[in-house]
Amino acid sequence: MPKPLKWNGSAGLKEMSAAEIDDNVDLILDHFSGMSSNNTGHLAMNAESGWTDIGTFADTRRDQAQGTHPANTTIHTDNYVFRQNLTDVTPSPTARPFAVKYDGGSFDGMIEMTDAECRADIVDRINIKIAAGGVGSYVLQPAAPGTGTWTNVGTVNNKLAVDSVANSTILWKRTTGSNTTATRPLKWNSNQVKEMSDAEINDLVEMYQESIVDTGIGKYTLAAAAPGTGTWQTVGSAFVDTRKQRTDQNYSGDYTGAYTGNYTGAYTGYYSTYYSGRQVGPYTGYYSGTYTGYYSGTYTGSYTGATIMAATDSVTTMKLWLRTA
């Protein structure tokens, strides 16, 4: 596969090395990261509703505080929708790198590189840089990586109960850190060969954006596991939705109040009366019957009730994935 040509001083023209191509890739990625329009490949969270949904983190929580009993079963959910701009792009660069033209293995002049050749020599190296956390890449983790400068795209909060935030994670985009001093490829300029400008090199970003949509390499997804098609790697760390447990607990305590009910039992006592004709003294005997009345006192007992506990349940675990092949 032909490589871009560079000016090699008095020695004439020479094919660019991999390191020199990488310098141009860094320049392209600096441009890609800062694009605010026509930014196919970029990610957003709970924004850009016209972009493609690539996954949702559902944060669930109880609506009652820890220790509440009896507890209800209500679960609140906050959705964090991740999106990627996957608008199709038709490259229209203002200039294309020159490469050596071969005919039957022999040198046959110079020719502008085709889209396929640009993908093989430039876009493939962009994909390698993105997979390694280069400028324009994204990660999902609590703190920014230590290399380069990263911008907060959006924050995901994990709440356990009511509105108490237990922990958070952040979608980060790397914005700076590349080498923007490039050995420039050559182009054809009407009637002469000339080095490409920064703007002309940056235009090659459209080759990368077209490749994302066409091949899927460079796409992201938020999911518990990698999709079945292609090769994917995690970017950042897993994030877990947790919430307070609701379980039955035994309680004991005293109850004081009035009790109304029937009492049935035997009564022993004295019965006195007079009998006509003959006096009968006190009589001792038994009486059995039902007595209805009121009882007031303290009752000690136990009961079982649903309670919002300190312990938590892990509901779902999500990761941000990048397709690399």
pLDDT at 279: 52
Last residue in a domain, options 168, 188, 223: 223
Domain identity same for 182 and 297 = no
Residue closest to 166 by CA, chosen among 157, 174, 179: 157
- Domain-embedded: residue 5: yes
pLDDT mean over 64-84: 94
**CA torsion through residues 218, 221, 222, 228, sign:** negative
Residue 61: inside a domain: no
Q: Tell me: pLDDT of 129 over 90.
A: yes
Give the model's confidence band at 293: pLDDT under 50 very low, under 70 low, under 90 confident, else very high.
Answer: low
Same domain flag for 10 and 115: yes
Q: How far apart are CA 189 and CA 258, in angstroms?
A: 103
| pLDDT higher than threshold 70 for residue 274 | no
Co-location of 93 and 198 in the same domain: yes
Q: Is residue 261 part of a domain?
A: yes
* Burial zone of 104 (CB within 10 Å; 0-12 exposed, 13-18 middle, 19+ buried): exposed
- Angle (deg, nearest 10), helices 18-33 and 205-215: 80
Residue carrying the six token digits 């490949």: 41
Long-range contacts of the stretch 15-24 (C-beta < 8 A, 24+) = 15/99, 15/100, 16/183, 16/185, 18/125, 20/182, 20/183, 21/121, 21/122, 21/125, 22/125, 22/129, 23/179, 23/181, 23/182, 23/183, 24/122, 24/182, 24/183, 24/184, 24/185, 24/201, 24/204
Residue 104 lies in a domain: yes
Same domain, 113 and 260: no
- Quick check: is 189 in a domain? yes
Q: pTM, whole model, 2 decimals?
A: 0.81
For the ranges 54-63, 143-152, 219-228, 285-294, the lowest mean pLDDT is seen at 285-294
Residues 117 and 263 in one domain: no
Residues 38 and 187 in one domain: yes
User: Are 192 and 115 members of one domain?
Assistant: yes
Query: Is the separation of the CB atoms in 185 and 201 below 8 Å?
Result: yes
Residue for token pair 């889209």: 115
Neighbours of 144 (CB within 10 A): 16
Confidence bin at 273 (pLDDT 50/70/90): low
Instruction: List the helix and strand counts (H, then E) for the chain.
Output: 5, 16
Domain count, the chain: 2
Could you tell me if 92 and 211 lie in one domain? yes
Q: Is the same domain home to 182 and 129?
A: yes
Same domain for 193 and 272? no
Q: Are residues 9 and 104 in the same domain?
A: yes
Range of the domain at 255: 248-308
Place 9 in a pLDDT band, splitting at 50, 70 and 90. Answer: confident
CA 163 to chain centre: 19
Cis peptide bond upstream of 4, omega within 30: no
Q: Return phi, psi of residue 20, to 5°.
A: -70, -35
Is 215 domain-assigned? yes
Q: Has residue 321 been placed in a domain?
A: no
How is residue 278 annotated by DSSP?
B
CA-CA distance, 105 to 108, in Å (whole number)? Answer: 9
Q: Which helix (H) or strand (E) holds 277?
A: none
325 within a domain of the structure (yes/no): no
Within this chain, do residues 183 and 130 fall inside the same structural domain, yes or no? yes
| Stretch 187-195: mean pLDDT | 89
